[in-house]
Copies of this chain bind each other. A is one copy, B any other.
Amino acid sequence: MFVQEMTPDQCFALLAQEHVARLACTHAGKAYVVPIQYVLAGHRIYSFSMLGQKILWMRQNPEVCVQADRVEDAHHWKSVVANGHYHEVPDIKGHHDGHMRAWSLLQSRTNWWEPGGYQPRPHAADGKPVFFFIEVHEVTGRMAAESGE
C-alpha cells in the first residue's frame, strides 16, 4: 500500500463528493468533535445545527477543523483535513439572502442523520436551526492505493 499526499484540488474534489464530515472545535483548551452533514460550495463548507455546544464554542472561537474521508477498504481510502473559519448565516435583515442560499443548498441533501440535527425548518416553532459555513483556508489530504495503481 502506498500512502501519498493529495493536492488541494484533489482535497476539494473529495469534500465536494462527500456530505458527511466531522467538525472539531475548541474552547478553553478542550476539544469537541461531532459529525455534520454538509454541502461544499466553492471553498465553503455549508452546514446547520440546532443551538448547542458546538455553535456556542464556534461563536467564541471560530477556528475549526473539518475531516472527511472515503474508505473503500483498508487499502483504498482518502482522507482530508480542512482548517477554516466559522461564519454564521443568520436569518436577519441584511443576511436574509445568504441565509436562504444556505438553506437552499442544504435542502438539496435529504439524508439528514446528524445527531442532534433535524430537517431544517425555518421559522419552526421548536427553535430554528443555526446555518453556518466554514471558510476553508487550508486543506491537506492523504490517499492510499495498492502498489502500482
Residues of chain A at the chain B interface (Cβ within 8 Å): 3, 22-26, 29-35, 61, 63-67, 69, 71, 73-75, 77, 79, 81, 83, 110-113, 115-116, 118, 142, 144
Contact = CB atoms under 8 A, between A and B. Distances in A.
A33 B65 contact: yes
Given A31-B26, A33-B65, A33-B66, A116 B142 contact: yes
A33 B69 CA distance: 12
5 contacts: A23-B33, A30-B63, A31-B63, A34-B67, A77-B113
Contact of A144 (B61, B79, B115): B115
A139 to B, nearest CB: 13
A78 to B, nearest CB: 8
B113 A144 contact: yes
A110 B73 CA distance: 12
Contacts of A64: 31
A116 B30 CA distance: 24
